[in-house]
Amino acid sequence: MMRQDREKHQKSLISNFKNNPKRFYGYLRNVQAVKSTVCHLRDGDGSLTDSDTETADILCAHTFIKCLLVMMLRA
């Protein structure tokens, strides 16, 4: 239901673009906005991260390990 409503709204914006471009570009800005919230993750000992920096470090380490494993499997 929500997907259909969103598609209907988007089609309406596109069809009325010439009449109301400000509304269209406002919608695009809203959709493209980067959300600044970062969820908390569990670290190695099972506790939740306290800061965005800790969360970023865990994600970075996880990504690095995955890339390293892929490189090792290809070799």
Among 37, 39, 57, smallest CA distance to 48 is for 39
Number of structural domains found in the chain:
2
Among 39, 11, 47, smallest CA distance to 27 is for 11
- Determine the distance from the C-alpha atom of residue 28 to the mean position of all C-alpha atoms in its chain, rounded to a whole number: 15
CB 41 within 8 A of CB 48: yes
Q: Is residue 8 located within the same domain as residue 27?
A: yes
Q: Is residue 42 located within the same domain as residue 74?
A: yes
The confidence score (pLDDT) of residue 71 equals: 83
- Determine the distance from the C-alpha atom of residue 45 to the mean position of all C-alpha atoms in its chain, rounded to a whole number: 27
Q: Is residue 24 located within the same domain as residue 49?
A: no
At 18-75, the pLDDT tens digits run: 898 999 899 888 888 776 777 888 888 888 988 888 888 888 888 888 888 888 888 7
Residue 61: which domain range? Answer: 37-75
Among 4, 1, 23, smallest CA distance to 14 is for 23
Q: Is residue 16 located within the same domain as residue 49?
A: no
The confidence score (pLDDT) of residue 30 equals: 85
Q: Is residue 74 located within the same domain as residue 55?
A: yes
Q: Is residue 28 located within the same domain as residue 42?
A: no
The confidence score (pLDDT) of residue 69 equals: 84
Structure tokens at 54: 């800790």
pTM (global) more than 0.85? no
